């Protein structure tokens, strides 16, 4: 039987090493070597180098596992495998490119359809958030928990702004306006992995975003659930991992978060 807790420690060590590589590269980063994958969707040689390091290290940890990666350095997805790593080597690339110190390494492991290991290493604060299914969530050596905030009126909420595919923009702006009036405030850090880790650690009470990818949120979703929170899609339970929209919360204010979105999104 696979020891998910032991795996989480191995993955955390690898993510920290990768974060140190990213910070080293930041000192001499050349912004002229940025590539554009799509509108406002950038990738740097640092993203690609970090991903290659992660893929090589994870293959040593669990040789039979497959990969879902942001930059495709592991090659095309193969046949269905029992285990699958989901990797975002540098979540917050735009922040990194602009020297804004909020970006993270995110690695999760799927066993079949279930998230069983999740690690988010926030590089600039050198904080390692990790979770293993059934074992809780931690920041470095300390166990973490979601907040007890009972309602939106008591909450601080994180979100992300769309940077491509603006068809839903008007609805989203209405949702944002409603949250601004009902909460202590909204924050947009520019790293979904960090947002979710901060929900798990009780720094945010909730988070929501649409048009989001599995590699952005996979590790963070497990962190939130293992820290006692709840994750769904916008209007229903659905599949927050591959459904491209996420609501994450401490659980107490989850239905109120969904109801606020439903006013404009349905």
Give residue-wise pLDDT tens across range 184-220: 999 999 999 999 999 999 999 999 999 999 999 999 9
Boundary-marking domain end, from 144, 173, 202: 144
| 3 assigned binding-site residue | no
From 109, 144, 179, the end of a domain falls on 144
- Please count the structural domains in the chain: 2
114 is in an annotated binding site: no
Residues 110 and 179 in one domain: no
**pLDDT for residue 40:** 41
Helix 214-226, helix 192-200: angle, nearest 10:
0
Q: Is 88 a residue whose pLDDT tops 70?
A: yes
Judgement on whether residues 43 and 133 belong to the same structural domain of the protein: yes
On whether both 236 and 131 belong to a single domain, the answer is no
Say whether both 31 and 48 belong to one domain.
yes
Same domain, 126 and 169: no
10-64 pLDDT, tens digit per residue, is 999 999 999 999 999 889 877 776 665 544 445 678 888 999 999 999 999 999 9
91 annotated ligand binder: yes
- Considering the domain architecture, whether residues 138 and 182 belong to the same structural domain is answered as no
Same domain, yes or no, for 129 and 250?
A: no
Is residue 90 a known part of a binding site?
yes
* 153 within 8 A of 205, measured Cβ to Cβ: no
- d(CA 266, CA 260) in angstroms, rounded, equals 11
Report pLDDT for 45.
81
Residues 218 and 93 in one domain: no
Residue 249's H or E segment, with its range, is strand 245-249
The domain boundary, picked from 89, 110, 144, lies at 144
pLDDT of 71 higher than 80: no
CATH code for the domain of 168: 3.40.190.80
Q: Which residues contact 64 (CB under 8 A, 6 or more apart)?
A: 81, 82, 83
Please state, in angstroms and as integers, the Cα–Cα distance from residue 144 to each residue in 149, 189, 199, following that order: 15, 20, 10
Residues 113 and 21 in one domain: yes
What is the rounded distance in angstroms from the CA atom of residue 161 to the CA atom of residue 108?
A: 23
Range of the domain at 98: 4-144
Do residues 8 and 115 share a domain?
Answer: yes
Tell me, yes or no, whether 166 and 65 share the same domain: no
Q: Residue 187 in contact with residue 157, Cβ under 8 Å?
A: yes
For the segment 93-98, the average pLDDT, to the nearest whole number, is 90
Q: What is the mean pLDDT of the chain?
A: 91
In this prediction the pTM is 0.93
Helices (H) and strands (E) in the chain, counts: 7, 14
CATH number, domain containing residue 21:
3.30.540.10
Based on the fold, state whether residues 223 and 241 are members of the same structural domain: yes
Q: Residue 147 belongs to what H/E stretch?
A: none
């Amino acid at each position: 039987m696979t020891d998910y807790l032991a795996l989480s420690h191995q993955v955390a060590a690898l993510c920290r090493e990768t974060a140190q590589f990213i910070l080293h590269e930041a000192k001499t980063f050349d912004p002229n070597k940025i590539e554009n994958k799509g509108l406002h969707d950038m990738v740097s040689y640092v993203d690609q180098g970090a991903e290659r390091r992660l893929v090589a290290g994870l293959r040593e940890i669990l040789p039979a596992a497959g990969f879902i990666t942001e930059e495709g350095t592991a090659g095309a997805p193969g046949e269905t495998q029992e285990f699958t790593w989901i990797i975002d080597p540098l979540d917050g690339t735009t922040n990194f490119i602009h020297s804004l110190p909020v970006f993270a390494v995110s690695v999760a492991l799927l066993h079949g359809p279930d998230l069983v290991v999740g690690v988010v290493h926030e590089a600039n604060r050198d904080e390692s958030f990790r979770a293993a299914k059934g074992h809780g969530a931690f920041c470095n050596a300390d166990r973490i928990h979601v907040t007890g905030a009972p309602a939106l009126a008591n909450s601080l909420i994180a979100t992300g702004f769309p940077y491509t595919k603006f068809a839903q923009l008007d609805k989203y702006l209405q949702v944002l306006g409603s949250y601004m009036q009902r909460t202590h405030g909204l924050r947009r850090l520019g790293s979904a992995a960090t947002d979710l880790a901060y929900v798990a650690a009780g720094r945010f009470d909730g988070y929501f975003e649409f048009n989001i990818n599995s590699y952005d949120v996979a590790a963070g979703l497990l962190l939130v659930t293992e820290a006692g929170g709840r994750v769904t899609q916008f209007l229903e339970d659905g599949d927050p991992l591959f459904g491209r929209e996420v609501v994450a919360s401490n659980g107490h204010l989850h239905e109120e978060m969904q109801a606020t979105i439903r006013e404009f999104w349905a």
